[in-house]
Chain A
Amino acid sequence: MADVTLTERLRPYRVLLASRARAQMQYRTSFVTDILGTVGVGLAEFAEVWIIFHNVDILGGLDFTSAMLVFALSNLAFSLADMFVGHLDQLPRYIRAGQVDAFYVRPLPLLAQLMTSDLSLRRIGRLSVALVVLTVALTRADIDWSPATVALIVLTVVSGTAIFSALFTAAGGLQFFLVDGAEFTNAFTYGGSYAAQQSQQVFPDPLRIFWTFVVPTAFVAYIPAVAILDLPGDHLTPHWLAWCTPLAALLAWGIAGLCWRLGTRHYQGAGG
């Protein structure tokens, strides 16, 4: 198998994802309404930011434009992760349908099969809202553009997506144990997403440390945004920390891998 090229190796996943896309396109009307729905979700979330800054000029050290950047970065990363692996936290449904057993008798890794078993193209709606807000924020903000700024933005989006994907994977792993544990894991996935779009300065230090070093969603938007906008930040957000986003993603994936391994071991032990 060593001489098999990467393209060849990825072919099953490409075919699987393409089939998921095709299945969604078959019902064009419902697909369009689904997209409009997620646009609505994105707009509603943005409305919250808008309302806050309609009433106050600065919150947690951010003005409206900075808050828009934080909002856009976190929403972009979350909707990308949600689109590709958001269904992982639906694991109990897969188990009940016998789908997990079917995955076990196919010659591909279980996690890779689960990840490619769905592709929620409807999240494109929320993704588009995030992209528009990002463009507006970057245009309005007084940014000292340099190649490093561009690199930091790209790095942030990629790592942020990886961080949220890791959270979904960890949630999936834990749900091998937890019967109807979605409420618990939602606290970390959707809760993490909510925490990521805030200025971290609004949280008390213990919570900030949690969202920075345990479930590292502060790295998804706030920490890089402070560096991109060259804001003063504070003792927990030195500018160099923004470049540690990939490390945060690694940390998140370490935890996710652990949860996943524990989960599958439990499944093979409990019989599902």
Chain B
Amino acid sequence: MSIDSAIIETRDLVREFKKTRAVDRMTFSVAPGEAVGYIGANGAGKSTTIKMLTGILKPTAGHVRTCGLDPMRQRVEVARRVGVVFGQRSQLWWDLPLRDSFAILGAIHRLDDQATRARTDLLVEQLEMGPQLGTPVRSLSLGQRMRAEIAAALLHSPELLILDEPTIGLDVLSKQRLREFLVAERRERGTTLLLTTHDMGDIERLCDRVLVVDHGRLAFDGTLTGLAGTVGAQRVLVIDLAAPTADLDDVPGATLVESESDGLRQRLAFDAESTTVAAVLAHVSSRHEVRDLTIEEPDIEDVVRLIYAASSRT
């Protein structure tokens, strides 16, 4: 990842409020086309970072570049090349039909009428918003409004899309549609994504890289699998056996977590790097009759909690 081509670059970025350091010597860079999940507890410094990336907030110290530009000095140019969705704030005009918001944003971004219409049609089709175009924004459901916000942020075809809690409060179906759209948008246009979320489903479905921020500091930077590996999060194999069985505490590479109903159901934790599901299963089924099995993936919320615990000890 060359520094020159990075779409986001921060070096020793610091932001202090009266007494607290909201962002503490943050250094990371994002290459064009990446999809990065930016996660952390409330107040960890996520929104502060986003505000510094977009020129809303002035850094106390350090270096920040968005699309190669200084967001404080070149805010307008940054705004032309970046789309931002604030999950709990609206970019739309609540008292007018939805289509008017797209027309106004087109004028704001100085697209001509034809370009605005073509881009609106495309986004509306992809996000399946056709029936809502004539509806006043204030009457849209939350799911419809979020899709409209994303369409609004993408109207000017930005290189970078920043999403701050895009799926907050959405039902399962709405979340899924939104994620599918973002995956397609990225595949087709190579748009870089930076999203903050509390929803690990967003990260799993959308991101190939995770940044974990804790107390303003970068606690982890890598893949989701790597994140699980770092804290030694283990997968758990749940085995249902045909007959009550003694504790399976002799399986190589696995440890017994729990045994229920006289050993009819046993849970074995194992590290994905030291053994495989197949090996554990082969070992068990060579001695006992296995009726059923399920695999429990590490809970990412737990993983993040472990990261916090680890970084607060240091």
Contacts and interface: CB of A to CB of B under 8 A. Distances in A.
Interface of A: 8, 11-12, 14-16, 19, 22-23, 26, 97-99, 101-102, 104-109, 265, 268-272
Interface in B62-80: 72, 75-77, 79-80
Interface in B12-68: 17, 22, 48, 51, 54-58
B104 A15 contact: yes
Contacts of B48: 271
19 contacts: A11-B110, A15-B103, A15-B104, A16-B108, A23-B96, A26-B96, A97-B89, A98-B88, A101-B51, A101-B56, A101-B86, A105-B91, A106-B108, A107-B76, A108-B76, A109-B76, A268-B57, A269-B57, A269-B58
Contacts of A269: 57-58
Given A101-B89, A104-B54, A105-B54, A23 B76 contact: no
Contacts of B91: 102, 105
Of listed A11, A22, A107, A270, residue having the most chain B CB within 10 A: A107
A11 B54 CA distance: 24
B302 interface: no
* CB-CB nearest 6 A-B residue pairs: A98-B89, A15-B107, A107-B79, A105-B84, A23-B95, A104-B56
Of listed A8, A104, A270, residue having the most chain B CB within 10 A: A104
Contact of A102 (B22, B55, B90, B96): B90
Interface of B: 17, 22, 48, 51, 54-58, 72, 75-77, 79-80, 82, 84, 86, 88-91, 93, 95-96, 100, 103-105, 107-110
Contacts of A101: 51, 56, 86, 89
B110 A12 contact: yes
Of listed B75, B88, B103, residue having the most chain A CB within 10 A: B75
Contacts of A98: 86, 88-90
Given A101-B89, A106-B79, A271 B51 contact: yes
A104 B50 CA distance: 12
Contact of B93 (A23, A108, A271): A23
A252 to B, nearest CB: 27
Nearest to A269: B58
A103 to B, nearest CB: 9
A8 B107 CA distance: 10
Interface residues of chain A: helix, strand, loop or mixed (majority): helix
Given A101-B56, A268-B57, A107 B100 contact: no
A98 to B, nearest CB: 3
Nearest to A110: B75
A109 B86 CA distance: 20
B86 A107 contact: no
Contact of A108 (B51, B95, B108): B108
Contact of A104 (B55, B93, B104): B55
Nearest to B15: A271
B56 A107 contact: no
A24 to B, nearest CB: 9
Given A19-B100, A23-B96, A107 B108 contact: yes
Nearest to A23: B95
A104 B213 CA distance: 24
Nearest to B109: A107
A107 B104 contact: no
Contacts of B89: 97-99, 101-102
Nearest to B22: A271
A106 B158 CA distance: 12
Contacts of B80: 107
B93 A19 contact: yes
A268 B56 contact: yes
B107 A11 contact: yes
Contacts of A108: 76, 108
A107 B84 contact: no
Nearest to A265: B58
Nearest to B136: A26
A19 B72 CA distance: 30
A197 to B, nearest CB: 33
Contacts of B84: 105
A257 B281 CA distance: 74
Contacts of A107: 76-77, 79-80, 108-110
A269 B76 CA distance: 18
A265 to B, nearest CB: 8
A120 to B, nearest CB: 14
A34 to B, nearest CB: 14
A206 to B, nearest CB: 38
Contacts of A106: 79, 105, 108-109
A102 B86 contact: yes
A271 B17 CA distance: 8
B299 to A, nearest CB: 32
Contacts of B58: 265, 268-269
A19 B96 contact: yes
A13 to B, nearest CB: 9
A167 B55 CA distance: 27
Nearest to A109: B76
Nearest to B51: A271
Contacts of B22: 271
B253 to A, nearest CB: 49
Contacts of A105: 54, 56, 79, 82, 84, 91
